[in-house]
Amino acid sequence: MQLRDLVNDQPAHLVLLVIDGLGGYADAEHDSELEAARTPNLDRLAARGSCGLALPAGPGITVGSGPGHLALFGYDPLEHDLGRGLLSALGLGVDLQTGDLAARGNLATLDDGGRVADRRAGRIDDDRARSIVDTLQSQVNLEEAEVSFRHVSEHRVLLHLRGEGLDPRVADLDPQRTGVPPLEPTATAPEAEHTARLLRELDGAIREALVDEDADVVLFRGFDTLQELPSMQERFGLRPATVANYPMYRGVAQLVGMDMLAVVGSLAEQIALMSDHWDDYDYLFAHEKGADRAGHDGDRDAKIAVIEEVDGLIPDLLDLGPDVLAITGDHAAPTQLSAHSWHPVPTLLWGERVGRDAVESFGERACSGGMLGHLRTQDLLPLMLASAGRLEKYGA
């Protein structure tokens, strides 16, 4: 028996709002960023719904945003191993064909000893980054593969390779920390030795092209080729769409069968776009990136400010009239660590049939006592379906 066998066609609207990197933790000196933020609207929802703490891939496992979002859409992220390059390529609308290779890259700077000084090239702005990507596109070539570069946002770059014998089983070049040299392209399977050699040639060509630029190197990670997953329509009987504006999250959404609505700027604009398409879909996914960005930067005040801005938009989201609303994050990004972490993510479920627990505010410690308990992130979507009256009884 599959979950799809229990899904009925009862009309309902399900909304998922992801505050990227929402989770954090209290320490000896501070509450978590979410606990410190002034969030009267989220607190009110928490008091009227059910809360818990979600684990994207299991206790102690730190996930990237790709696996985190895959879990939010009801898929086991340990079963489906997706490279970030694939997700970014799909989100950017790249014509990725079978056998092509895609990777996510960071424009980065090196110190005089060849060690990574800044993995994000000073969070270079979009205009300067686009100019650098244009330089790469015009100057970097390989004899044995077609090479193309696309600017994603800020320091983020997409690499797309097309040629014979490409294999994604190559270790990341990004060491994920400063003070050490970039990693050498290394095959993790014999079939990928050709690809690793091409990447070594590519790295040299990139460094030469960037001699007079604001970055010294591109740190690649998340190598992957085209994959197919069963859609949310097939697995859950939904008509889903996303208003997310960041390519990678749109890529995950596209991979699981969501329609891609127009790219708009702010979360407020995403909510307005949802309103325009309200009757076209029964599942809508919105996304706020700012909390994750602040988490990576270790900027506590900025993360708190983003959370408070989101809180101010909750009434607009409720005005749409969702039958079930879920609010959570794809992973934790504590500013104490300036990185993703394994900490569980506060999760809020609201709707007429959800039930009300004793939680009165939206925060890590409050949610730990909620009715949802410590749940797997991938179980959130079935709970949304059930709360919307979309799941039939199983068995006699």
Q: Give pLDDT, residue 392.
A: 95
Residue 167 β-bridge partners: none
Distance CA 275, CA 316 (A): 10
Tens-digit pLDDT profile for residues 219-272: 999 898 988 899 999 999 999 999 999 888 998 999 899 999 999 989 999 999
Q: DSSP letters of 197-221?
A: HHHHHHHHHHHHHTTTSS-SEEEEE
Using an 8 Å Cβ cutoff, are 235 and 74 in contact? yes
H or E segment at 334?
Answer: none
3-state secondary structure of 136: helix
Q: What are phi and psi of 324, to 5 degrees?
A: -140, 135
Q: Which amino acid is at 298?
A: G
**Separation between Cα atoms, residue 308 and residue 273, nearest integer Å:** 21
DSSP string, 32-83: -HHHHS--HHHHHHHHHSEEEEEESSSTT----HHHHHHHHTT--TTTS---
Per-residue pLDDT tens for 195-221? 999 999 999 999 999 998 999 999 999
Write down all domains in the chain, each with its CATH number in brackets. Answer: 3-82+228-387 (3.40.720.10), 87-224 (3.30.70)
In whole angstroms, give the CA distance from residue 340 to residue 199.
Answer: 27
| Residues in the chain where the model's pLDDT stays below 70 | none
Say if residues 223 and 168 touch (Cβ distance below 8 Å): yes
- What's the chain's average pLDDT? 94
| 241, 394 Cβ separation under 8 angstroms | no
pTM of the model: 0.84
* Rounded percentage of the chain residues whose pLDDT exceeds 70: 100
Listing DSSP states for 258-323 in one string gives: -EEPPP-SSHHHHHHHHHHTGGG-SEEEEEE-HHHHHHHHT-HHHHHHHHHHHHHHHHHHHHT--S
Distance CA 197, CA 206 (A): 14
Q: What is the pLDDT of residue 86?
A: 85
